[in-house]
A = this chain, B = another copy of it.
Amino acid sequence: MDSTNKRTDVNSLGEFALIDHLTHAFDNIHPSTIKGIGDDAAVLDYAPLCTVVSTDLLVEGIHFDLAYTPLKHLGYKSVVVNVSDIYAMNATPKHITVSIAISNRYSVEALEELYAGIHAACAEYQVDLIGGDTTSSPKGMTISVTAIGQAEKSQLVYRNGAKPGDLICITGDLGAAYLGLQILEREKRIWAEHPGVQPDLQEQKYIIGRQLKPEARKDVIEALRRVGVKPTSMIDISDGLASELFHICRQSNTGALLEEDGVPIHPEAQLMALQFKLDPITCALSGGEDYELLFTIAPSDAEKLKYLPEIYIAGEILEPEHGVKLQTKGGNIHELKAQGWQHF
C-alpha cells in the first residue's frame, strides 16, 4: 500500500499532530476562507455574514457502544457534538447534513430510532437537516455530521484571542460524562459475566445522562449575547479541560493559571469519582464529552457575568513564559498536563 518502505505507525503522532502533518501542504486559494483547519469550525466570509462549518465522524466501537447506547440518544448526540462546535465559534447553527454507513444487521426500525433522535436535536437547536448520504458498510455503523452556521464577522470568537489578564471561564460542570461512561462500561462487563443481573442506575442518573444525552450550550451563548459579553477566545470541551486550555494557550501564545477551586464538578460526579478511586479534578481535566464551553473574557467584563447561572471563573490567562499551570485546592502549583481523549 505504501509507495516507500518506511512505515510510521499512526499511533506515534496523535490526532492533532497527524492532522497537522497531513494538511500543512494545503494552501487556501479563496479569499473567503478566513479560517481553515485548526479551530472548532471553519469560517467562510460569505458577505454580509460568515458561514461556519464543522464536521465530526462517530464510529461504532470507538465513539459509541450500542450495548448501552440507545439509538435515539446516539442520533441526538451526533447532532449535539456538531452544533456545540458552531456555538464555540459564537455562531448560530442553521443546517446539518447527516451521512450514515450501516451494515444490514440494522433494521429500518432501528434507523427510525436514530432519526427520531436526530429530529429531536434539530428541533431543540433549530437546525434544518438538508442532506446526507446513506450507504451500507461491511460491519458496524459510522455517522458523519456536518453542521453549518452563520455569524457576523465581528461576532466570531476564535481560539487564538486570549490575552494575559483575561479570566478563564467554564460552563456547567465537568467530568460527569467520563464517569457516566465508566459506569456504563462497568455494567457491560458485569452483564457479560452475569447475564440477567439488571443494573440499578437510578442513583447515577445525572452522570449517565451526561454521557448518553449531552446538550450544547446554546443557552450560554445567548446569555452572553444578552449581557453584551463577547469572549476573547472560546472552545468547546469535548476532549477534557486540560487539552482544550492548551489549545487556547498555544493558539493565543499565552500561559495560564487554572484554579482547581474554580473547576465546576457535579456532586454526583464527585461521589462517583471517589467510588472509582479517581481524583475528581483528574476526571474534569482529562475526561471528555461534556460539551461545555471554555472561554476567556476581558477582566472588565467579569461584572456582567455575575448574575448568569452556570458560568464559573476558574483562573487567569498569563504571559507565555509562565506556561500552563494548575493551582490545587491546597495552594500548590503544578505544571498542567494535556491528557485529552486520544483516539489513536
Contacts and interface: CB of A to CB of B under 8 A. Distances in A.
Interface of A: 1-4, 6-13, 15, 18-19, 21-23, 25-26, 28-30, 32-33, 35-37, 41-42, 44, 46, 49, 51, 53-57, 59-63, 66, 71, 94-95, 97, 99-102, 104, 106-113, 115, 119, 122, 126, 128-140, 142, 144, 146, 148, 150, 343-344
Given A61-B137, A139-B139, 20 more contacts: A1-B71, A4-B109, A6-B107, A8-B109, A13-B108, A30-B95, A30-B126, A42-B97, A44-B94, A53-B97, A55-B97, A55-B99, A55-B132, A55-B144, A55-B146, A57-B99, A57-B133, A59-B138, A62-B136, A63-B135
Given A10-B106, A25-B119, A51-B51, A101 B44 contact: no
Copies of this chain, whole number: 2
17 contacts: A1-B106, A1-B110, A6-B107, A22-B115, A25-B115, A26-B119, A30-B126, A33-B94, A33-B130, A42-B97, A57-B101, A59-B136, A59-B137, A62-B138, A99-B144, A138-B140, A139-B140
A59 B131 contact: no
A44 B129 CA distance: 12
Contact of A12 (B12, B53, B108, B130): B108
B129 A36 contact: yes
A101 B26 CA distance: 20
A60 B343 CA distance: 20
Nearest to A102: B10
Nearest 7 interchain pairs by C-beta: A42-B130, A144-B144, A8-B108, A61-B138, A42-B131, A28-B128, A57-B99
Contact of A95 (B2, B53, B95, B122): B53
A63 to B, nearest CB: 7
Nearest to A142: B142
A138 to B, nearest CB: 4
A125 to B, nearest CB: 11
A141 to B, nearest CB: 10
Given A55-B146, A57-B101, A140-B138, A36 B131 contact: yes
Given A6-B109, A30-B128, A55-B132, A137 B44 contact: no
A126 to B, nearest CB: 6
Nearest to A13: B108
B9 A142 contact: no
B2 A107 contact: yes
Nearest to A27: B128
A6 B150 CA distance: 41
